[in-house]
Structure 1
């Protein structure tokens, strides 16, 4: 796939432009988005991502188009898992609904920057070291196990880093609008808003470690990796408000993602064997009889897994309360809202 520096520059510039527009049009003035607003913009970004994929298929061939769509589906599914953790984070820090947009926007921007850096590093490693596919495959198999059997119930506000910050920085017990710091009686304090952004940044690092090896198992094209990640993150803020109350009803999401990550992990190991150069495996020779999993099968498998997880979750939770899982926060019209006391769980 031929991607010129000009195409890279235009793509990055357009991506930045979208986020700048998002900030000034929707985030700068604190408010809680309506369901209609969230639905329209979510549909717009999904449609844009699909249109881009069609463009890739028409211009560069449907093999690359299929790689993009497989990567986009995987990253979108992982992004929904991000939302579940963001939901826990918003609840743990008692973020007022009017200010949640700002936290999400900053978190998404940090995620995009981190993933961009990981993409560059991953591309360099893949170009120079074929054995990196073994490492990525093993990492994804471990992450699949953790995804299937790990817990999402930990309190992000009580982690090691948060305790360290509270010990070394003066922190207010309440929000001061959407400010990160505030001066009280001549002394500078940090607010719970800053703690929330620090926590969401740490979460972004963890999810970048999950997502980048996963998508490199579907395509080795750095441009497709970046665009799939960018489109998956676009509209994530609106999706949070659109399905926030339904996230905890996706009870089989973790298992579905575990299956996807394990599948990609196996795919990476098979590819590593196919391009093997490690001297202690087959004498450093490629194992040519090892089959490569085709792009169309990867796309079909990922799509089917997501569909099965969603349908199974819907059947499992059918008839349960609609309000379960919503983020609890004080009314958005209040200027200052007390945060959860730091010692409580």
Structure 2
């Protein structure tokens, strides 16, 4: 796809303008976005991405348009999966609710920079060495295998290497000072835990790029489409987090769906590598006649797998129970953590969610109610939350 320089410049300026708008207006004042605010802005970013894809379809043709949408959907799905890890990190570091927007926005900006670097490195390698497709395909197949073993256990902090490394090598003040990186204690300038969060988020962004960039190069070799599909999939991710936060753990089969997609793309890459083969120890350095997977089939498989995954997750009774228990555990901890938020309305909202989750667990029957009761720590936290709520004269019905 031959893209004029001015189109590149205008596209990059547009992406930077949207990021700047987020930094200067949406997150300047620390606050908890309402569901309406988050939903409207999330829809707006998706709308911009779709309009851009229509432009690619009109000016670049059906093949490139299909590649863009396949890449965008795949990267968006991987980004949603990445939100699990962001949630783990922010829970691990007890980031105040009001400051989570800025943490997410930093993560998105850093991810865009990291992935842009990997995109141009990947494009340069592909142009010089056809065997890189074998490497990318192998990376995706290994990633798919690893995802099948990943249960997104938010309580097992030790699974996140970046959290451990950040805490080991960076010493900070015991408490946050808003969203500041530095604060003053006894007249001395010290780091705050916010820096730890940023380091952990930035480090995981680099690890995510190692998976996501080979995936999209498996769908298109156009650097422009790879860059734009990746960038638009990241824009709006901050707002999307607050829209689907309560559903993240309910998507219990998402990792299986993403594993299937990455495995499919990995096979597609290896088939393409065989078709372009020039390695002397494979078929004497000659191209191998294989069936290559079309863009249309790739797009259909990606959409189909994601649809099945989401529907199966939402309608699974066990999934609903595990989600309610996991969310109840998180909301009980957040409510009891006095440093979590100073917004009384937000605390009331958290308590309401906690009670709703308890009601949902009971409504699923004795089997799943017993599953929650097997966790004495959770039961103790819920009772303590009720006690504090009653003492504070809360209005949410228990």
Is the structural similarity TM-score above 0.5?
Answer: yes
**For the residues of structure 2 that align with 1:235 and 1:282, how far apart are their CA atoms?**
46
Aligned-residue offset at 1:333: 3.6
The aligned counterpart of 1:210 is 211
Cα distance change on mapping 1:323 and 1:180 into 2, 3 Å: farther
The aligned counterpart of 1:66 is 66
Check conservation: 1:115, 1:212, Cα contact below 8 A. Answer: yes
The aligned counterpart of 1:119 is 119
Aligned-residue offset at 1:57: 0.8
Matched, 1:252 2:262: no
The aligned counterpart of 2:376 is none
Q: 324, 331, 342: which one pairs with 2:341? A: 331
Check conservation: 1:175, 1:193, Cα contact below 8 A. Answer: yes
Cα distance change on mapping 1:272 and 1:8 into 2, 3 Å: same
**For the residues of structure 1 that align with 2:162 and 2:57, how far apart are their CA atoms?**
44
Check conservation: 2:217, 2:226, Cα contact below 8 A. Answer: yes
**For the residues of structure 2 that align with 1:192 and 1:208, how far apart are their CA atoms?**
25
Q: What is the number of equivalent residue pairs in this alignment?
A: 333
Cα distance change on mapping 1:159 and 1:70 into 2, 3 Å: closer
Aligned-residue offset at 1:308: 0.3
Check conservation: 1:93, 1:157, Cα contact below 8 A. Answer: no
Using the size of structure 2 for normalisation, the TM-score is: 0.80
SS at match of 2:94: coil
The aligned counterpart of 2:298 is 298
The aligned counterpart of 1:198 is 199
**For the residues of structure 1 that align with 2:275 and 2:316, how far apart are their CA atoms?**
41
The aligned counterpart of 1:341 is none
SS at match of 1:188: strand
The aligned counterpart of 2:57 is 57
Matched, 1:227 2:228: yes
Deviates more, 1:37-46 or 1:166-175: 166-175
Deviates more, 1:147-156 or 1:289-298: 147-156
Q: Which runs of 5+ in 1 are unaligned?
A: 335-345
Check conservation: 1:41, 1:238, Cα contact below 8 A. Answer: yes
Taking the TM superposition and a 5 Å limit, the aligned residue runs for 1:21-32 are 21-32=21-32
User: Which whole-Å deviations, capped at 9, do the CAs of 1:230-259 have from their partners, x for residues lacking one?
Assistant: 110011000000110110000000000000
SS at match of 2:178: coil
More helix by share: 2
Aligned-residue offset at 1:87: 1.1
Check conservation: 1:169, 1:189, Cα contact below 8 A. Answer: no
Q: Which runs of 5+ in 2 are unaligned?
A: 345-398
Deviates more, 1:30-39 or 1:168-177: 168-177
**For the residues of structure 1 that align with 2:90 and 2:159, how far apart are their CA atoms?**
13
Check conservation: 1:175, 1:191, Cα contact below 8 A. Answer: yes
SS at match of 2:148: helix
Aligned-residue offset at 1:225: 0.5
RMSD: 1.9
Check conservation: 1:218, 1:298, Cα contact below 8 A. Answer: yes
Higher relative contact order (CA 8 A, sep 6+): 1
Larger radius of gyration: 2
Matched, 1:285 2:286: yes
